[in-house]
């Protein structure tokens, strides 16, 4: 057995170490190590619950508003607050735009370079690339020979400069790259276009949230915005028109460029990558994008669980069945044990015991700052694949149509979804589904505003004088990377306990008390390595989950 480590894993948010053990150039075992500590829960203790979202969303600057949403939902759940329809719609718009923005950035700027050889693009024929673009991305404006000649010239100048920046350590020329030169050039061109596109469409967050990242218009009970069709500021007719124009840009880029590019990549890599990287085969989604009001509104993407890679099975999600263990994590519980605890009873007490790199004793000791969340004791994957798998099992018509069409086009069966390529495809299809749904939510908001319904927040429980002496609640949401939950306990008007279980804690967890590997660890076992000194195959599967270690862990300075 030979052990290798990638530390740090780049093109992610935060700090991650992945260690694998291989024999005959096939991964036999794996360890996922979060190398920084998260202390947001400790920062929140004793604070006003109405302020929690401001601090909680600073857990990450990439996920932007999702922690704010989970936080206000947790407080609203604890205090029995129902938000007005306009607040629900605006939250949907902000989340939907965040999903699309995040997924596009992930594919082109974080994940694509595991599959795309930038240097090989220099040998591409611009005329042949133009023809490929016209077939892959029909209707896209930038598809001429002159355009791809210009992109290739820019790329050549960049390489000739010798100042490659974040691309300097890439595995260029690796034998595991399978795209022809023209496909490489096409995807490099769209990488550059996506940089410009994402800068524009996130302006929707600035309109509805005041800024991005970390929008500032959330509040317990709704949103802190002004709604009026003819108001000089706030959400008015002009703002709605601007949002509508940006949503059209979203639909155009996603349907014409992103989905076609993912299909192109999947065609060249479906062997063997539609069978590798399967993970645990258990999927969990909290559900998101409520399209009605009331105690349990039906969301566009439903809640549920799929087990054993069976899309014909469906189970409910009961947050009481969620628990975290710290058997292999650098934490201690006051009780002295390291077993399963529900997040509402969770503790965040860091106790770093090593080991130091190269982690020679990693097989038997604690090795990560991530805890190990489990559902009823079982390992679950969260994220786009989980959301689409659950929605497919529920029978959501547009999801079934999109998934079936994608698989049929590539000649694949449902089993291919449980793979590295399947995870990539699920993210692209979810992006298209949300891009198509966003205008519906905007139209509903426009109807309310022009009809005179300007309610944006419920303030009847704003004052602590109206609160019970003690209260507890949880705030579930779906972040782009997967299920996100915040749990809060309130006593005497202050936060008595606060716990966050984030997507990358689910997916990147270490082994639990029973020794079960986390999702990333399971997904890496069986991965072939063409060149173990340049393990791009490991990166492909890890990046397919879109790690966000900043959410999962934060800086810790012992003694401070």
**Residues noted as catalytic:** 13, 60, 63, 67, 481, 504, 548, 551
3-state helix, strand and coil shares in percent for the chain, rounded to the nearest 5: 45, 15, 40
Tokens encoding 372: 């190990």
**C-beta pairs of 38-44 under 8 Å, 24+ apart in sequence:** 38/348, 38/369, 38/500, 38/551, 38/552, 38/553, 38/554, 39/348, 39/350, 39/554, 39/555, 39/556, 40/498, 40/500, 40/554, 41/346, 41/348, 41/497, 41/498, 41/499, 41/500, 42/348, 44/495, 44/498
Q: State which H helix or E strand residue 270 sits in.
A: helix 259-273
**204 in Cβ contact with 93 (< 8 Å):** yes
Task: Please choose, from the candidates 331, 374, 370, 336, the residue with its C-alpha nearest in 3D space to the C-alpha of residue 353.
Answer: 331
Q: Is 139 exposed, middle or buried (0-12, 13-18, 19+ CB in 10 A)?
A: exposed
Cα–Cα distance for residue pair 404/392, rounded to 1 Å: 10
Place of tokens 């205008």: 439
- Dihedral angle sign, alpha carbons of residues 112, 117, 122, 128: negative
Cβ burial of 16 (10 Å; 0-12, 13-18, 19+) is: buried
- The whole-angstrom separation of Cα 498 and Cα 492 is 15
CA distance linking residue 92 with residue 87, whole number of Å: 9
């Amino acid at each position: 057995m030979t052990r290798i480590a990638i530390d740090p894993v780049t093109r992610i948010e935060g700090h991650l170490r992945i260690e694998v053990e291989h024999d005959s150039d096939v991964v036999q075992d794996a360890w996922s190590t979060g190398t920084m500590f998260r202390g947001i829960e400790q920062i929140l203790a004793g604070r006003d619950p109405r302020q929690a979202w401001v601090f909680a969303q600073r857990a990450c600057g990439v996920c932007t508003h999702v922690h704010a949403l989970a936080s206000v939902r947790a407080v609203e759940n604890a205090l029995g607050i129902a938000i007005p329809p306009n607040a629900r719609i605006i939250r949907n718009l902000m989340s939907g735009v965040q999903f699309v923005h995040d997924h596009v950035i992930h594919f082109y700027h974080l994940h694509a370079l595991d599959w795309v050889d930038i240097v090989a693009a220099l040998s591409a024929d611009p005329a042949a690339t133009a023809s490929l673009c016209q077939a892959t991305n029909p209707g896209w404006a930038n598809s001429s020979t002159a355009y791809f000649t210009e992109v290739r010239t820019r790329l050549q100048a960049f390489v000739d400069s010798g100042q490659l920046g974040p691309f300097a350590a890439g595995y260029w020329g690796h034998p595991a790259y399978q795209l022809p030169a023209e496909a490489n050039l096409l995807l490099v061109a769209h990488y550059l276009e996506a940089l410009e596109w994402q800068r524009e469409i996130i302006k929707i967050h600035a309109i509805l949230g005041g800024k991005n990242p970390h929008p500032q218009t959330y509040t317990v009970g709704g949103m802190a915005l002004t709604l009026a069709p003819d108001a000089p500021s706030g959400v008015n007719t002009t703002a709605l028109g601007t949002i509508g124009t940006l949503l059209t840009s979203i639909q155009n880029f996603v349907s014409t460029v992103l989905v076609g590019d993912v299909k192109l990549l999947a065609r060249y890599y479906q062997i063997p990558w539609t069978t590798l990287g399967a993970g645990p085969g258990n999927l969990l989604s909290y559900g998101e994008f409520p399209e009605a009001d009331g105690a349990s509104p039906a969301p566009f993407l439903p809640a549920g669980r799929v087990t054993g890679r069976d899309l014909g099975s469906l189970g409910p999600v009961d947050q009481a069945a969620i628990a975290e263990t710290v058997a292999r994590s650098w934490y201690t519980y006051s009780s002295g044990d390291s077993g399963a605890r529900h997040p509402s009873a969770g503790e965040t007490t860091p106790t770093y015991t090593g080991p130091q790199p190269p982690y020679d004793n990693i097989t038997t000791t604690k090795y990560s700052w991530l805890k190990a969340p489990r559902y009823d004791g079982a390992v679950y994957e969260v994220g786009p694949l989980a959301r689409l798998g659950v929605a497919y099992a529920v029978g959501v018509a547009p999801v079934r149509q999109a998934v079936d069409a994608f698989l049929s086009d590539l000649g694949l069966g449902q089993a291919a979804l449980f793979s590295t390529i399947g995870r990539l495809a699920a993210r692209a299809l979810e992006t298209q589904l949300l891009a198509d749904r966003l205008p519906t939510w905007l139209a509903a908001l426009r109807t309310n505003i022009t009809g005179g319904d300007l309610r944006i927040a419920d303030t009847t429980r704003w004052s602590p004088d109206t609160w019970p002496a003690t209260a507890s609640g949880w705030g579930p949401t779906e972040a782009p990377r997967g299920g996100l939950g915040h749990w809060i306990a309130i006593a005497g008007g202050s936060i008595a306990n606060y716990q966050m279980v984030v997507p990358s804690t689910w997916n990147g967890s270490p082994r639990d008390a029973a020794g079960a590997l986390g999702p990333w660890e399971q997904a890496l076992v069986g991965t072939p390595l063409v060149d173990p000194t340049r393990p791009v195959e490991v990166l492909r599967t890890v990046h397919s989950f879109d790690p966000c270690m900043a959410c999962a862990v934060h800086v810790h300075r012992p003694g401070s």
